[in-house]
Structure 1
Amino acid sequence: MRVTVLGTGTMGAGVAGSLLREGHEVTVWNRSADKAAPLGDRGATVAEDPGGAVTSAEVVLLTLFDTDAVVDVLEAAAGDAPEDAVWVQCSTIGVAGTETVVQLAAKYGITLVEAMMLGTKAPAEHGTLTMLAAGPAAELDRIDPVLDAVGAKTIRAGEQVGAGTALKLAANAWIASITAATGQSLAVATALGLDPALFLQAIEGSASDSAYAHTKGAAMIDGRFPAQFALDGLRKDIGLITDAARDTGVSTVLLDALGRVYADASAAGHGGDDIAAVGTAF
């Protein structure tokens, strides 16, 4: 399929690479052109502007950082895409942001679905993301080849755009919690005079075990945090989750605490590091 990826940051670049590997005809654009250029060496067409990127697209993926970026890019490109193109909102922008984009799509007569990406840099590069999709079934059927190229599985959360976002917020609340909890347990073990690796050995194979705890825990013990999922990106998501919880009457006690501990790690200079750097806050 002819697929355009608007936004080639950590996730967008990985997704574009997976699409190329699976034989799709890929066009890419990024506000910072240097981040899109390497994909040109791999066979993608590198566009100079969003409008030029979508002129022949069958599927347009929006893989951007926040609501403002999605709105700016969508407005810049909306009039240049074929009328039958399916636009896929993949950016984590929360409930209010998603509502804004849905309204904007209606204004421009755009066919919009969403496919949230559950995973980090490596799964994006390897095509093993979990895709959390939502929208009319017929439109999701049309983009199945794209979702299959970038994900190991797709979960259809509902036929209304916003259901995928809701599921992504719930999933990222879990990721934020388990990563911070891993850092806390390692810090407690260390403070009590133990080798922190003993904590990971203790939970291994038990009902409380988690592959994520081992992955992030190993980075915490090593003290090196090459970014798979940037800490400030998760901080942004925690804010979106907190807003959604507050608006629907869910207690934000744990979310507020998570917000503080990730903010502490960011303030110490780890905002661009992997989320495992939250362990430094303890």
Structure 2
Amino acid sequence: MKTVKIIGVPEHFNLPWHLAIDEGAFEDRGIKLSWTDIPEGTGKMCELLNQKETDLAIILTEGIVKSITEGNQVKIIQEYIASPLLWGIHVDANSTYKSLNELKGTTAAISRFGSGSHLMAYVQAKQMGWETEKLKFNLVNNLDGAIESLTTAKADYFMWERFTTKPLVDSGIFRHLGNCPTPWPCFVLVGTDEFLSENMTLVKHIQEIINTYTTEFKQIPRIDATLANKYHQKLEDIQDWLHITEWSQKQLPETMLLKVQDTLKELDLIDKSIPVSKILN
């Protein structure tokens, strides 16, 4: 039995992996897939990949592309979620901010530099016509850190996946001011170069299994109720999320990868674009 380490965020996007593990789909192929939740998100996952503390990851597209251009020895194996990620923009429930325009010049809470919450703050600022070089950040590590940061006014707003943060809005901790969808497919499956070079057949088995699960995922009876219960969401919110979310079973299109790099370069978040062949497996 070959042990393979994989990491991802503890969010509803990744339930197909947990179902496949629980049902023994990987073990049937001689693979012990060891999953670890990383609540800190993409910035932390990039570090773990760089340190070779994991073999695979389900990670945000823009975050891993930036990391690869900076020398992280990782390749994108395939697109995992084909649809955009809907980033909710949140303030403390007792904050005086009533519109996105009022956030100009304020401080954003981010989990880590190079994380989605960091990179998407630039995308959002550009869309609003703000000067991105004047953005200010407060490092908060994870969702609990963001709550503490906003409630103590160390930061003014926080961007995180809309549906993951919805319970905090419903409970009166955050107030939701708006959304910023990613301009590209949001999650990809990646692996370290070392692992991929030594285990290509095994990786193909893993792809076949997860792609079977994601193809059939929305057809699972009462999957909306399962998701709502497991991730502490309202049923109607999960139904809305399922409606806008599409899993993928193919490689990330080269045109989309070029768009990600062009956007990051335009925002001065990467120094240069690199050939597609150095990013895609």
What is the TM-score of this pair, normalised by structure 2?
A: 0.31
Which structure has the higher relative contact order (CA within 8 Å, separation 6+)?
2
- Which has the larger strand fraction? 2
In terms of Rg, which structure is larger? 1
